[in-house]
Amino acid sequence: MEYNEKTIQAKQKMAQHRREFSCREVDEYSDDPRLPPGQHIVNNWPVLDLGYKPDVKLEDWKLTVDGLVTNPITWNWDEYQAQPQQPFTSDFHCVTSWSQFDMEWLGVSFRHLLSVVQPKPEAKYVLFESYDDYTTNLPLSVCNDDDVFLVHTWNHRPLTRNHGGPVRMIIPKRYAWKGAKWIKKISFAQKDQKGFWEVRGYSNTALPWENDRHG
């Protein structure tokens, strides 16, 4: 698909100026040690996208996992729901400078997915692809963590289309652009392949505690 270049440029400016103007700030957390440098706490969840929100019906949703894995899979919604479902709580840090604490999720852990597909020894990197053709990338070692999930529920409600439903990635130790919304495909590879924002100058590592926003 073709993205709206004006929208892309606007998002890049917000990241550079580190402010998302739809946020409602909460000053009482400004000195909280859980807050990474350059971030501020909000009490809402701002909607950021590239100007297109795919409307993926549950009966049409599928997740394909391929590449350097022993057992490639394609899950439909029922098969995904049949996997072990685990609740967890995490913080959420956006590159445009806002954070939210204690977001509650429900979903399938990435470690469970790894146990199913069994990456081959030469697999070192993961590429995530969304239903809007967005991509982002991470080392497999980063994804193999106990707080990385494919989630379908936020704060006890189904994940909305605005926020990446039916299913999105949550990777709390990285800026949120690494957690692909509307997840469609996960590919394992030997070499790194930069994603949508990474080829446009965003950091390839995206570490909030290092203020690691741009390459």
Q: What is the mean pLDDT of residues 24-38?
A: 72
pTM for the structure as a whole: 0.87
DSSP characters for the chain? ----HHHHHHHHHHHHHT--TT--B-GGGTT-TTSPTT-EEBSS-----SS------TTT-EEEEEESBSS-EEEEHHHHHTSPPEEEEEEEE-TTSEEEEEEEEEEEEHHHHHHHH-B-TT--EEEEEETTS-EEEEEHHHHSSTT-EEEEEETTEEPPGGGT-S-EEE-TTS-GGGS-SSEEEEEEESS----TTGGGTB-SS--GGGT--B-
Bridge partners, residue 76, by sequence? 62
Break the chain into its structural domains and give their ranges. 5-45+52-209
Domain 5-45+52-209 class in CATH: alpha beta
What confidence tier does 73 reach under pLDDT thresholds 50, 70, 90?
Answer: very high
pLDDT tens sequence across 129-188: 999 999 999 999 999 999 999 999 999 999 999 999 999 999 999 999 999 999 999 999
Strands 149-154 and 135-139: unpaired
Residue 53 in this model has a pLDDT that exceeds 50: yes
Q: How far are the Cα atoms of 15, 77, 105, 134 from residue 56, in angstroms, in the given order?
A: 28, 11, 20, 15
Calpha distance 18→213 (Å, rounded): 10
pLDDT at 37: 94
